[in-house]
């Protein structure tokens, strides 16, 4: 059996940008020296746990996603490869540490990270990043502070061997944010499509005895190059949001099917960066 190593799990759908994780990280590291683990984080300019925000869609169909990011504690960390003298190293439990003594003056370590997770402390001439709160873990803590303070459970952590990690990732629908540089990150995301994918939505109506009503239960699909890429069913208000469309520019078809109605097909142009709301679409009787 392989050695159990730490991993962090983030559910994008549960993060509402309270920033407790960011604040807890600053509380733990700003002005605090943890010898052997990290030098003090500066008060300004560093966010070792950062949160980015993305809005998708067009009024009135709009949603917001928040994406926490930090050091990925990579299995094949480029920062470790950039410091063969041990200035950066990966522990047996998977946590990657930048030695606060050996790494002084080593600015090239910052640029070695393909995720931009390493910051440069100008005052100390030192590359720095989040340490997975290794100094607390070594004192018996069962989880890092960002997990402890997360009110929605968007962040969780676990120490797992390779087989158990693979099962959790597959069973719970987690994925790495990016596999750049073959780094094998150990921070995994669920519902990442809220951040990385697009949706096409509409409000569906039909006329019944001369009165317009919302269409519930209609099946909508986004079709690209003749293949369905995502589907959804309209709710009681006639609203349907077909999510999970790859963020690629080009033409797609928005296809709606409802018993008793003619099939509806709308040609939609996507710019590859934003979702689309098609407004109110009327279904005609078959």
pLDDT digit string, tens, across residues 92-143:
999 999 999 999 999 999 999 999 999 999 999 999 999 999 999 999 999 9
Burial of 171 (0-12, 13-18, 19+ CB in 10 A): exposed
Q: State the pTM of this model.
A: 0.90
The pLDDT of residue 256 is 98
The confidence band for 276, taking pLDDT boundaries of 50, 70 and 90, is very high
The confidence band for 182, taking pLDDT boundaries of 50, 70 and 90, is confident
The pLDDT of residue 255 is 98
How large is the average pLDDT for residues 46-52? 97
Identify the residue with better confidence: 181 or 124: 124
Alpha-carbon distance of 115 to 264, in angstroms, equals 43
* β-sheet with 250-257: strand ranges across: 227-233, 219-224, 250-257, 264-270
In the block, tokens 């994780």 appear at: 21
Token pair of 197 as six digits: 């994918």
Whether residue 181 has pLDDT greater than 70 = no
How large is the average pLDDT for residues 230-236? 98
CATH superfamily of 197-283: Immunoglobulins (2.60.40.10)
Whether residue 2 has pLDDT greater than 80 = no
pLDDT single digits (tens) 25-44: 999 999 999 999 999 999 99
Instruction: Write the secondary structure of 41-59 as one string of H (helix), E (strand) and C (coil).
Output: ECCCCCCCCEEEEEEEEEC
The 10 Å Cβ neighbour count of residue 62 is 12
The pLDDT of residue 177 is 84
Residue closest to 175 by CA, chosen among 116, 183, 5, 166: 166
In the block, tokens 């890092």 appear at: 144
The pLDDT of residue 88 is 98
How large is the average pLDDT for residues 141-149? 98
Alpha-carbon distance of 89 to 83, in angstroms, equals 8
The confidence band for 1, taking pLDDT boundaries of 50, 70 and 90, is low
β strands within the chain, DSSP E: 5-11, 50-58, 61-69, 88-90, 96-98, 119-121, 126-128, 155-160, 174-176, 187-190, 198-208, 211-214, 219-224, 227-233, 239-245, 250-257, 264-270, 276-283
Alpha-carbon distance of 59 to 44, in angstroms, equals 36
Whether residue 180 has pLDDT greater than 80 = no
Residue closest to 216 by CA, chosen among 187, 192, 240, 195: 240
Whether residue 23 has pLDDT greater than 60 = yes
The pLDDT of residue 113 is 95
The confidence band for 178, taking pLDDT boundaries of 50, 70 and 90, is confident
Alpha-carbon distance of 202 to 55, in angstroms, equals 17
Q: Is 81 helix (H, G, I), strand (E, B) or coil?
A: helix
Q: Where in the chain is the domain with CATH 3.30.70.20?
A: 5-194
Whether residue 179 has pLDDT greater than 80 = no
How large is the average pLDDT for residues 175-196? 89
How large is the average pLDDT for residues 266-284? 96
The confidence band for 65, taking pLDDT boundaries of 50, 70 and 90, is very high
Q: Where in the chain is the domain with CATH 2.60.40.10?
A: 197-283
Residue closest to 76 by CA, chosen among 176, 167, 147, 143: 176
Q: Which CATH architecture has domain 5-194?
A: 2-Layer Sandwich (3.30)
């Amino acid at each position: 059996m392989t050695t159990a190593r730490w991993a962090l799990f983030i559910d994008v759908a549960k993060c509402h940008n309270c920033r407790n994780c960011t604040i807890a990280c600053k509380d733990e590291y700003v002005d605090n020296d943890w010898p052997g683990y990290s030098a003090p984080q500066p008060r300004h300019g560093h966010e070792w746990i950062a949160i980015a925000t993305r809005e998708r869609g067009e009024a009135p169909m709009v949603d917001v996603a928040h994406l926490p990011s930090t050091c990925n504690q990579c299995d094949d960390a480029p920062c470790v490869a950039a410091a063969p003298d041990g200035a950066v190293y990966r522990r047996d439990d998977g946590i990657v540490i930048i030695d606060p003594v050996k790494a002084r003056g080593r600015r090239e370590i910052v640029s070695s990270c393909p995720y931009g997770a390493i910051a440069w402390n100008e005052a100390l001439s030192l590359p720095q990043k989040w340490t997975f709160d290794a100094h607390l873990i070594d004192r018996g803590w069962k989880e890092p502070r960002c997990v402890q303070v997360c009110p929605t459970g968007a962040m969780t952590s676990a120490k797992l061997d390779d087989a158990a990690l693979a099962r959790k990732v597959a069973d719970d629908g987690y994925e790495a944010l990016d596999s750049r540089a073959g780094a094998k990150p150990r921070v995994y995301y669920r519902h990442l499509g809220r951040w990385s994918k697009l949706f096409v939505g509409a409000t569906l109506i039909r006329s019944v005895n001369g009165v317009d009503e919302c269409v519930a239960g209609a099946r909508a699909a986004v079709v690209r190059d003749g293949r369905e890429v995502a589907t959804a069913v309209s709710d009681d208000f006639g609203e349907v949001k077909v999510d999970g469309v790859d963020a690629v520019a080009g033409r797609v078809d928005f296809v709606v099917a409802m018993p008793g109605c003619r099939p509806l097909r709308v040609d939609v142009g996507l710019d590859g960066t934003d979702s689309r709301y098609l407004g109110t679409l009327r279904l005609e009787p078959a």
